[in-house]
Amino acid sequence: MSYNTITTTPISGALGAEITGVSLVDHLSDGVIAEIRQALLDHLVIFFRDQQLTPPQQIAFAKRFGPLEEHDFVKGLPDHPEIIRVVREADEDSLNFGGAWHTDVTHQECPALGSVLYSIDVPPHGGDTLFANQYLAYETLSPGMQRMLDGMTAIHTAEGPFGPNGRAATNWKNMQIETSEKALEEMEHPVVRTHPETGRKALFVNKTFTVRFKDVTALESAPLLDYLFHHASHEQFTCRFRWTKGAAAFWDNRSVLHYALNDYSGHRREMHRVAISGDRPV
Ligand code: SIN
């Protein structure tokens, strides 16, 4: 794909590209926004370095791709509730937020279209984020497995991270998180979704929110779900982004999984995340 105003440099064979020739601080023309949107569809996750974004500028950029939403369980910044702080302090010795392969907020009826994550403070080493291409995850399954999964529905809940006994109860102490019974609510999504813009099929289950298949017990679901979780994050489907201060990652939550690595013990890491509203997976 060629672009007139932006330059894309892929960072792996599977997905991910760094974008240059654009400053997210500026009010970008509709033409540039259309190219960035195309780059997101082409590369699934795109990265911008050396940006100096204030919270209103991050919000203004993300809003060009759709309305923003507040997180159900993580409180946003006091003046900018759409922005959540993803932070772990140097003296915290616990799980990190996002430290498992997942798609954001699939407990919702309409999970986010995508998120823009901006780095405020990065550790001197570690704290990279991994992404995995879920078109490839689907396309590399056997035809028989694809046919079986095409007709299946999975149940998603936010109980694991945000339920009364969820991971938030004992981790992420410096984030504003409210665990709640609301996290027990169940949501149905197709196991394979068709991307509303590209028309391609992508595997759509994730370890954080998918708890079982519809009309099947958790115990009965576990062998196939475990296989799919494992398959979905095969090394060949992934890319890895090394953060620098002032970098931004924009991922398509409809076609990628992501994973924040927990390997920066003793160092501080802080990100600001906004999520763009998505549609009902079909
Ligand atoms: C997230 O899962 O939204 C956080 C990702 C990260 O901190 O790298």
Beta strand spans in the chain (E): 7-10, 17-20, 45-48, 68-69, 84-88, 114-121, 129-133, 153-156, 187-190, 192-194, 201-203, 210-213, 238-241, 248-252, 256-260, 269-276
Q: Does a structural domain hold residue 121?
A: yes
Hey, how many other C-beta atoms are within 10 angstroms of the C-beta on 26?
A: 11
Q: Three-class SS of residue 220?
A: helix
Q: Does a structural domain hold residue 105?
A: yes
| Separation between Cα atoms, residue 150 and residue 68, nearest integer Å | 30
How many domains are contained in the chain?
1
Q: What is the pLDDT along the chain (282 residues), one digit of tens a residue?
A: 789 999 999 999 999 999 999 999 999 999 999 999 999 999 999 999 999 999 999 999 999 999 999 999 999 999 999 999 999 999 998 899 999 999 999 999 999 999 999 999 999 999 999 999 999 999 999 999 999 999 999 999 999 999 999 999 888 989 999 999 999 999 999 999 999 999 999 999 999 999 999 999 999 999 999 999 999 999 999 999 999 999 999 999 999 999 999 999 999 999 999 999 999 999
Active site residue 258: yes
Q: Does a structural domain hold residue 107?
A: yes
Report the chain's C-alpha Rg in angstroms: 18
| Separation between Cα atoms, residue 53 and residue 60, nearest integer Å | 10
Q: Does a structural domain hold residue 112?
A: yes
Q: Is the dihedral of CA 275, 277, 280, 282 positive or negative?
A: negative
Closest approach atom of ligand 1 to CA 98: 2
Q: Does a structural domain hold residue 196?
A: yes
What's the gap in Å between 260 CA and the centre of ligand 1? 5
Active site residue 230: no
Q: Does a structural domain hold residue 217?
A: yes
Q: Which pTM value belongs to this model?
A: 0.96
First to last CA, the chain: 27
Active site residue 71: no
Q: Which domain holds residue 190?
A: 7-276
Q: Does a structural domain hold residue 1?
A: no
Question: What's the CATH number where 47 sits?
Answer: 3.60.130.10
What's the gap in Å between 212 CA and the centre of ligand 1? 24
Hey, how many other C-beta atoms are within 10 angstroms of the C-beta on 27?
A: 10
Q: What is the pLDDT of residue 251?
A: 98
Beta-bridge partners for 153: 190
Active-site residue identified among 43, 71, 102, 212 = 102
Ligand 1 binding pocket includes 84 (Cβ within 6 Å)? no
Q: What is the pLDDT of residue 171?
A: 87
What's the gap in Å between 145 CA and the centre of ligand 1? 30
**Residue 221 · residue 213 · CB < 8 Å:** yes
Q: Does a structural domain hold residue 229?
A: yes
